[in-house]
A = this chain, B = another copy of it.
Amino acid sequence: SGVDKGVDFAQYFCTYAYLYHQKEMLSDRVRMDAYYNSVFKNKKHFQGKTVLDVGTGSGILAIWSAQAGARKVYAVEATKMSEHARALVKANNLQDVVEVIEASMEDVTLPEKVDVIISEWMGYFLLRESMFDSVICARDRWLKPNGVMYPSHARMWMAPIRSALVNQKMNQYEGAMDDWYSFLEETKSYYGVDMSILTRSFDEEQKKYFLHTSLWSNLQPEEVIGTPAIVCEIDCLTATVQDIAEVRSQFSCKIHTDARLCGFGGWFDVHFRGRVDNPAEEEIELTTEPSEENSTHWGQQVFLVQPPRNVCRGDSLNFSFVMKRTIENHRLMEIELGCEFKQSSGEQLQPFKKTFCIE
């Protein structure tokens, strides 16, 4: 697919080689509980079965699969973290069941097809990192026709929000521009060079950085001012790379409080349902929605609306949404987000349209 492996390692995989980073994921209780329960409350999917863990990291999901009774677990990891996974498997006395393989999933040849593929592949706003591509590749090559995906379904969500972030980022942007103008004066007076021709480009760069890049945030439920809408749904058993490489969607939602609309929050959930002809005994959900108590390391992505708009209870918002991968880095995304307002008051609000990066 034209991706340079060395570059991909330098930009993406490298961080996963740190225990510190794996520990962050292993300390996310919402994430851990969901995967733990998905395995141990559905042991029938694992007992005596063969399992593939795509991107095993520390090895945790492979170890749980083995503890739940799997006959054989293939645990594939691209980075040197594989060595730690292997040590951990051994220390937990599962080396006869779990086989750790250090390789890119795309390059691996397994001795057999598997009954279950388990993987924690979700990035910010679900698809950042594009790791689900590797899961699809594994599924198409190594999952038995009646095999089960863990998780089995995924959804992207979006909701209108209020947030102090918009003022904060606007202030930072304006501060950067003030700095720029003093800089221009100094460079002209001390060093005899007029740099004002670069003002427009600098302004664009700063706008992109402060205002047109989505922000990680741990939103509180009361910051959500309308009904969340589903952006898209993915069936992990049938989705293709084409389906996720470009996501186009139209959706709408209703404002439920009079408020200052400062942006849109984006998050995801995944479900562990087994498959229609072999359903889970207990269906488990992992959600990264705004929550007071159950926040995750994914948080939410915030897309700022600048300037903010006053909206009222009952207003309808109609969205158009296109998410593509950036040309420079296929693991990062660009989102064209449009929103039209249908106000209950009958007044007209200027429609919103902006392109954001997820970095």
Contact with B along A65-104 (1 / 0, CB 8 A): 0010000000000000000100110111000000000000
A7-B7, A91-B197, A183-B27 given; A191·B36 CB < 8 A: yes
Q: Determine, out of A201-209, A255-263, A291-299, the stretch whose residues face the partner at the interface.
A: A201-209
Q: Determine, out of A15-23, A111-119, A281-289, the stretch whose residues face the partner at the interface.
A: A15-23
A20-B206, A205-B18 given; A193·B10 CB < 8 A: no
Q: Which residues of B contact A202 (CB under 8 A)?
A: 19-20, 23
Q: How many residues of A contact B (CB 8 A)?
A: 45
Tell me, yes or no, whether A243 is within 8 Å of chain B by CB.
no
Q: Write the nearest CB–CB distance from A316 to chain B, whole angstroms.
A: 39
Q: Which residues of B contact A180 (CB under 8 A)?
A: 23
A6-B6, A10-B10, A11-B10 given; A193·B27 CB < 8 A: no
- Chain B residue with the shortest CB-CB distance to A32: B191
Check B198–A87 contact: CB distance below 8 A: yes
Tell me, yes or no, whether A195 is within 8 Å of chain B by CB.
yes
A6-B4, A10-B11 given; A19·B198 CB < 8 A: yes
Complex CA distance for A113 and B137, rounded to whole angstroms: 53
Cβ contact of A84, chosen from B23, B190, B198, cutoff 8 A: B198
